[in-house]
Amino acid sequence: MEEIRGTETLEREILDDARKRADRIVRKANDEVAALRAQADKRIKEALDVLAQEYSLKRQHAEQDLRSRLPLEKMRLDIEYRDAHLREVTQGAVASLKPAILGQWCVARLSRHAELIQNSSVKVAVRGLDAGSIGAIRALFSKGSTSELIEDATMKARGLIVEPADGSYHISITETELTEWLLDEKRGELAAALFGSAK
């Protein structure tokens, strides 16, 4: 009987010892899990903080970049608007010129080529010029050149076009050239008149 009791006691002690060890292993495992979870949470928080800082820096750089570009973009848009408006107004002014005024400009430009045109056989097409200007053009060709002057309603712009029979040159003096000449040579004066003086 005593042996059975001793065996039961020994069995209980072994079971108690096993329970205690199992409890220690479980507690240790729980502690390790908690530590790992804390480390993972800490790493996630650190990674999120780094990402938040990177995002913040990128956002600041983007805002600074945008702020630095705004004045240039505003200036570019202002220049584009002024250029387009100046071109539109100049084209409108040239289109509204009386035939006699446009004709005088055409004759003055053509007379610069007097030596060339007086020694050529040419065809002159004119559109939208007054009779006085057409007479002055005929006079320029009357000194030794063979010329044919026709009024051509199919020309794209008012003015004149000179084409020699041999195709050696081409002279175009029209509203289009006058507009471009004004925008090239008189842009500052035209802009000051249209937008006011920039001081």
pTM: 0.60
Who contacts 143 (Cβ-Cβ below 8 Å, separation ≥6)?
Answer: 118
Average pLDDT over residues 119-146: 84
Segment 185-196, tens digit of pLDDT: 888 888 888 887
- 65 pLDDT band, cuts 50/70/90, is confident
Distances (CA, A) of 146 to 88, 140, 164: 39, 11, 10
- CB of 114 within 8 A of CB of 136? no
Paired with 148 in beta bridges are 123
Output the pLDDT for position 186: 84
DSSP 154: T
